[in-house]
Chain A
Amino acid sequence: MSQLPLAVKRLSVTVKRLPAALRRLPEAWRRPQAVAGAVVALAWLLVAAAAPLLAPYDPLAQELPRLAEPGPGHWFGTDQLGRDILSRVLYGARVSIPLTLLLVALSVLIGGFLGGVAGYFGRWADEVIMRFADLVFAFPTIILAMVVAAALGASLTNAVLAVLVVAWASYARVGRGLVLAVREREFVLSGRLLGFSVWRSLRVDVLPNVVGPVLVLATLDMGTALLLLSGLSFLGLGAKPPSAEWGAMVASGMEVFDSWWVATFPGLAILTVVLAFNFLGDTLRDALDPRTARAVKERAL
């Protein structure tokens, strides 16, 4: 029992030692989860930007001993073609991360626009758009993406398109709900009475008031998008063999199961990116929405 006050004191000392800059951040951003998410996500962005500087070898060169275990010289080992896995994982960040960002950005734009139009204009626009969204929701995501990717032909661009086909719908649904709630708010009506056109009203009064939650969803969705994208590559419907794409690398690692390192390191890369963005999304949600934040805090107590 007597150790408890001591522990509390030690904890408060640690808190006081936190760098001043960190303490100035809002509370949601000071939790370990948030810091870890931000650090890992940032690290991956840096890796994607500086892969050629960081990678010890050419990711495509087949010049090393085949299936060498991790060790000095090649820390993540080599694959069955004698390529350095560390270099391939680092270069893989240049494929997966920008594509995931692009994918989510496009989903937000397309889904958000369609959902906003459905919610704001209602009537037949709402009916048509939301029935299409329902159609998308009626299929298991990965299967629909597989069907679309298979129909379009295996390539990374087509995989992005396929994921886009399944990903826009959730933004449309959320966007519509948010717009419906804001549309009837009195400042929107005031704007219309002052002669705002519907587009101006959407842009000035509606959009800024729904963008926050949509961005949270987008951050949370980044992990799902990456999983889907690498899932398609894993199934052979995305990136073509020589290119260093994480999903495809995991798939090729499955062929040489005894050499665990071939599949594990690209798998870990996917895992860390997904986790980092999920942490970031949670943090953003708590920072944005005080009601959720309070609920979380009450549960913690």
Chain B
Amino acid sequence: MTLLSIADLVVEHRSPGQPPVRAVAGAGLTVAAGEVVGLVGESGCGKSTLARAVCGLHNVAGGSITFEGRPVTPLGLRRRALTGIQMVFQDPYSSLNPRRRAGDQIADGLRVSGDSVTPADLLERVGLPRSFTHRHPHELSGGQRQRVAIARALAARPRLLIGDEPISALDASAQSQVATLMRDLAVDSGAGLLFISHDLSVVRLIADRIAVMYLGKIVEIGDTASVWDAPQHPYTQALLRAIPHPDGLGTLPAELPGDVPDPADPPPGCRFHPRCPHAMDICRVQEPDFGPAACWLHAPSDLTEQSAKV
């Protein structure tokens, strides 16, 4: 059963006096209960914007977000009744209230679910000492804070947990620990997990499926194994080449040439074509809006025939 389904989602950032920035420009994605979906992409491609829109923290300019069969409403001034979606944010230094003890903040989550477990139990579950309930955030390390944030989100017993790069501020060993912890806890409780990262090698460890995002669009989506072993989209291939390999051969990771274009002024046709080594004529004029790999190299046959006629 699909828990969350996002279709043709468009989210724009509007600031006065400037053209709207289309941070998410027609993205589609599903997450099933108990499934872990990894969302990867370079910095600035719109991952956070998508995640926040799913929580109702951004107004949606087009498309739909459906959670358990009902559309997600934007978070307004009213009390949020929809507590089935919880999020762990990117920055460990602002994901917890600096003025409140860790235990009190976890208790907020417990109040939602009405569970009989205590904050200390939850701290134990995320691998922290029970005595940390009395600590203020400034007495915790970045990784410990993220664990507390995870405990608070899980305390509410969400059906969908979203992690928006919850590990990017942590060092390498803490990264895989926290990522694996999040996966285990979410899957154990039967919740779906949408895990956002720009690091494919960590996502591979925990995700059932991987979605690759580029400039506001999902360019490739598939099972972790197939995306990792046989990436279809040139962008995915480039991301994989950019991962350092500890193979002892000294092969340097291949940097992806060029920069992410400005989402306020995306290139015409395929958004990736200015940086793509395989760019063809059609890539410059027509946007590939099909899946699972949105690339003219992998177009379904009927579409290629059609466009050949154009």
Contacts and interface: CB of A to CB of B under 8 A. Distances in A.
B278 interface: no
A205 B98 CA distance: 9
B99 A195 contact: no
B91 A195 contact: no
B85 A196 contact: no
Contact of B75 (A185, A187, A193, A204): A193
Given A194-B109, A194-B156, A209 B86 contact: no
Contacts of A198: 77, 79
Chain B residues touching A, majority SS: loop
Interface in A182-211: 185-198, 204-205, 208-209
Given A187-B95, A187-B97, A194 B79 contact: no
Nearest to B96: A187
B174 to A, nearest CB: 19
B154 to A, nearest CB: 12
A209 B100 CA distance: 10
A287 B46 CA distance: 40
Nearest to A206: B97
Contacts of B57: 189
B83 A194 contact: yes
A196 B79 contact: yes
A198 B75 CA distance: 11
Interface in A20-39: none
- What size tier do the contact residues of chain A reach? 10 to 19
Contact of B87 (A190, A197, A204, A205): A190
A205 B97 contact: yes
Contacts, number: 64
A121 interface: yes
B83 A185 contact: no
Contacts of B100: 204, 208
B304 to A, nearest CB: 44
A191 B149 CA distance: 11
B108 interface: yes
B75 A190 contact: no
B86 A185 contact: no
A228 B99 CA distance: 35
B120 interface: no
Nearest to A120: B77
B77 A209 contact: no
Nearest to A191: B108
B81 interface: yes
Nearest to A205: B97
A204 B80 CA distance: 16
B95 A186 contact: yes
B152 interface: yes
A299 B160 CA distance: 52
A274 to B, nearest CB: 31
Contact of A121 (B77, B86, B96, B156): B77
Contacts of B89: 186, 189-190
Nearest to B86: A193
A187 B86 contact: no
Interface string B66-97: 00000000010101110101110111001111
A196 B78 CA distance: 9
B303 interface: no
Nearest to A201: B79
A198 B111 CA distance: 17
A267 B237 CA distance: 79
Contact of B99 (A121, A194, A208): A208
A195 B153 CA distance: 12
A209 B75 contact: no
B112 interface: yes
Nearest to B158: A193
6 contacts: A121-B77, A185-B94, A186-B94, A194-B80, A194-B111, A209-B99
Interface of A: 121, 185-198, 204-205, 208-209
